[in-house]
Structure formats: structure tokens, C-alpha cells
Amino acid sequence: MKMKAAVLIGAMILAGCTTGIDYSSPGLDPIPGSIIYHGQPKTKLAKSPPGSTFPHDFIDQYGQQVEETYMILPDRTLKIVHRVVRPIRFGMD
């Protein structure tokens, strides 16, 4: 009985693991200030492996702080995989 439980738990753990990165989702649409707003950059990120991510922070046209995370795809293009928009606060609330 304990062996069946151990096998079942092991199978559930393995089922939760993924062996690859999902590149199929389209990502978020770029907004003004995004690295890829006017298309993909001219230079390719040749040293970073596909699937790696990096952040980019900027202030949008509405004065909000935007934090984006980009993923490098196998063809060396970029995809926005995460975005957080926060209002900038100047005073103590």
C-alpha cells in the first residue's frame, strides 16, 4: 500500500514538471516605451540563451511606472511575457 502511494506521489510530481519552455503564446502587445514598440531591435541578443528573460522599466505617456519582462525566443526575437503598471506617487500616503 505504501509503495502505491509513493508511486502515485512520484507520478504527480513528475506530471507537474515541464521539460521545455512554452514559446507558443503570443505575449503582451507592446505599448509606447516598450523595447519592441516600433518592431524588433536591429541587434540580436546572441550571448543569451533562448528562454532567458530580462527586465525593462520605464515611465509611460500617462506618467505611470511600467515594469516589463522580456523573453528571448529561439529565433532571437523578443516577447513581452509580464507587465506591471503602477502609478508614481510623489507624496507619502
Flag whether 49 is in a domain. yes
Average pLDDT, the chain: 83
The least confident of 44-48, 52-56, 68-72, 88-92 is 88-92
The more confidently predicted of residues 17 and 80 is 80
User: In terms of DSSP H, where are the helices of 1-93?
Assistant: 2-16
Q: What angle do CA 24, 49, 44 make, to 5 degrees?
A: 85
Flag whether 79 is in a domain. yes
Q: What is the pLDDT of residues 25-62, one digit of tens each?
A: 888 999 999 999 999 998 888 889 999 999 999 999 99
**Helices and strands in the chain, H and E counts:** 1, 3
Flag whether 18 is in a domain. no
Flag whether 58 is in a domain. yes
Flag whether 41 is in a domain. yes
Place of cell 503602477: 86
The more confidently predicted of residues 19 and 83 is 83
Q: Which long-range contacts (CB under 8 A, 24 or more apart) does 19-22 make?
A: 21/50, 21/51, 21/71
**Bridge partner residues of 87 (DSSP):** 64
Start-to-end C-alpha separation, the chain = 58
Count structural domains, the chain. Answer: 1
State the CB neighbour count (10 A cutoff) for residue 38.
9
Domain boundaries, position 72 = 23-87
